[in-house]
Amino acid sequence: MSPTTPTYDVIVIGLGGMGSAAAHHLSARGARVLGLERYGPVHRHGSSHGGSRVTRQSYFEDPAYVPLLLRAYELYEQVERDTGREIALLCGGVMVGRPDGRVVSGARLSAETWGLPHEMLDAREIRRRFPTLTPRDDEVALYEERAGLVRPENTVAAHLQLATRQGAELRFEEPVVRWEPCGGGVRVHTPEDAYTAGQLVICPGAWAPGLLADLGVPFTIERQVMYWFQPTGGVGPFLPERHPIYVWEDAAGVQVYGFPAIDGPDLGAKVAFFRRGTVCTPDTIDRTVHAHEVAAMADHMSRQVPLLPGRLLKAVTCMYTTTPDEHFVIARHPAHPESVTVACGFSGHGFKFVPVVGEIVADLALDGTTAHPVGLFDPRRITGPLDAAAAAAPA
């Protein structure tokens, strides 16, 4: 370490969705924060991009997520007030499928468990309220007025803005090569220098398998594609006041999610498959979207939202970092519980939680615990109890 390198309270590795929020919450509490990011600010190489991400409270994945979502909504409103940036658009949303399918039954369970306002709609009522959607007669929907979307680029930019305003030092185009425990704290190495801090927060996204190899969680990195179509007849029927966000599960269990037209006629409306990706790494991902992929997406949507796949306007890739059970990893590192906090493995459904994950990570790094319910996210649910040999292993 060079003599001029300062010692920080906390180093944050990764400044995408979760890392930018962590840098904000840590610096807001007075911590001396260094943030390190391998790319530039608000980049498109990982997961925190694409113009929109679904947000919803009737959470079909597990009712345990609902308290975190309620807090995330509060924090998104606070970030909007503090930065003046548009973050969330609550245009309403439908979870569509068969009544006993995972999406509908799971969403209904969360809504009823937590007393969330919602309506159950049969196929005829879905078609009446939302003429762009054409469900089968045996499909139903849970409608949630407080569902909608959040804007990932604006969210990351807002958290970086707040972190900088609060005194955080953010370094871009400076990838982390390795990290290691050091004298009760940590040392982090980059091609530029080595930095020390009392605490380390690792929010690595798709780079988790390399930076967190000692965590023992078998992450799977998946290439996903997002599509923007120009609807037949134009975007009018797809504007937010007429067309909701949707998560739609067909009889075969294939899920898609989609959005209203929020960025004008030039970008149309966005749609994507949920969990239909291909395994990759950040170094091997194919960034080209192929004609057969576009055709498969258009064919699928022609049955559910037939006006949507008029003409492809744009398609881009992103990555999911998925755990075996599709639940998050947010915890003190079991092998380094005194000095390292991890937030990773968000499995394709994490962005809506960004601000509350930042708050949780700040709690864990500065206080060693959090009042938020995060027991579901302990990595030891996957790896099993930590043995002495694993605890002694270097990072």
Q: Which residues make up each annotated binding site for FAD?
A: 9-39
Backbone angles phi, psi at 149, to 5 degrees: -145, 155
Contacts of 362 (CB under 8 A, 6+ apart): 22, 25, 26, 28, 29, 31
What 3-state DSSP class applies to 20?
helix
Check if the beta carbon of residue 219 is closer than 8 Å to that of residue 209: yes
List the one residue out of 13, 54, 44 whose CA is nearest residue 247.
Answer: 54
List the one residue out of 22, 55, 60 whose CA is nearest residue 370.
Answer: 22
Residues 28, 363: Cα–Cα separation, whole Å: 12
Helices and strands: H and E segment counts in the chain: 10, 20
List the one residue out of 134, 87, 94 whose CA is nearest residue 111.
Answer: 94
Residues 110, 125: Cα–Cα separation, whole Å: 22
Residues 149, 246: Cα–Cα separation, whole Å: 10
Which parts are annotated binding residues? Answer: 9-39
